[in-house]
A = this chain, B = another copy of it.
Amino acid sequence: MANSPTGDSGTDRLVRILDTFTPTRTVQTATEIGRRSGLPSSTAHRIVNELVDAGLLERDEERRVRIGMRLWELSTRSSQALRLRQAAMPFMERVQARVREHTQLAILEQDEALFLERLSSPESGSNITRVAGRLPLHASSSGLVLLAFGPSDLQERVLSSRLAPLTRATLSDPAAVRRKLAEVRRLGHAIAPGYIEEVSTGIAAPVRDETGRVIAALSVVLPRDAESDFAVVELHRAAGDIARSLGYRS
């Protein structure tokens, strides 16, 4: 991908275009993509046409553009995301069947919690998490697990950044987050009552590889004042089963 006169590569332009699509903005015109990506309109139209020709983007009947099945296929079929969630699925299903609330798997990605999978049943309560969506490390139970057991430079970077509150319960003071991380390490799991939504409590446990490194967080979202002990036990059991299913001896 040759560099453009402005010095950014074709790869940069591709990322800027793909980045304009979000969980709530799934269809756009080429003009909207140009505006949101900050690319010159003619450049955006040309690249969108190329991507449509290759099947990486698709047009609907109104010539609006969306992410193509071919791009999903190419980026999923060999991905670590797929390997991890396939190993986790049978145990996530067990957690979901027994706890009967949203059950989720997240990894650390660019200083946020990226959710690889979410299982829900119709009777589950409120939950803003989405597959391939993200939540802040300091606010979500999954994020607190990934942060508490993560590298110290990650902790320092996150604690020195702005810790935006999502609700009145979210910890937004670095000292309070630091105490919470110590609690997570002591308990072996994270409990985040009302941090993301006032009405719910997130509970997360770490999935570890053979060396003890935390590679993912398995979590459930319960109603705010629900009893958490049963969910904690199920999460720890499933996290161990996922690690073994990935071939890690415990």
Contacts and interface: CB of A to CB of B under 8 A. Distances in A.
A79 interface: yes
Interface in A113-154: 114, 119-122, 130-134
In this complex, the interface size class of chain A, counting residues with CB under 8 Å from chain B, is 35 or more
A80 to B, nearest CB: 7
Interface centre among A10, A25, A74, A120 (most CB of B within 10 A): A74
Contact of A76 (B1, B55, B72): B72
Contact of A110 (B67, B70, B86): B70
A83 interface: yes
Contacts of A10: 1-2, 10-11, 14, 50
Contacts of A81: 69, 72-73, 76
A92 B109 CA distance: 29
Nearest to A85: B131
A179 interface: no
Contacts of A133: 77
Contact of A90 (B47, B50, B121, B130): B121
Contacts of A14: 1, 10-11, 14, 54, 56
Given A69-B107, A120-B90, A122-B90, A78 B11 contact: no
A122 B245 CA distance: 11
26 contacts: A1-B2, A1-B13, A1-B47, A2-B2, A2-B4, A9-B50, A11-B53, A11-B56, A12-B54, A15-B56, A18-B74, A21-B74, A21-B78, A22-B77, A26-B83, A69-B80, A69-B107, A69-B114, A70-B110, A72-B80, A73-B81, A77-B132, A89-B119, A89-B120, A90-B122, A97-B97
A250 interface: no
Nearest to A73: B132
Given A12-B50, A14-B56, A72-B82, 6 more contacts: A1-B1, A10-B50, A15-B55, A15-B74, A23-B77, A72-B79
B132 A54 contact: no
Nearest to A130: B77
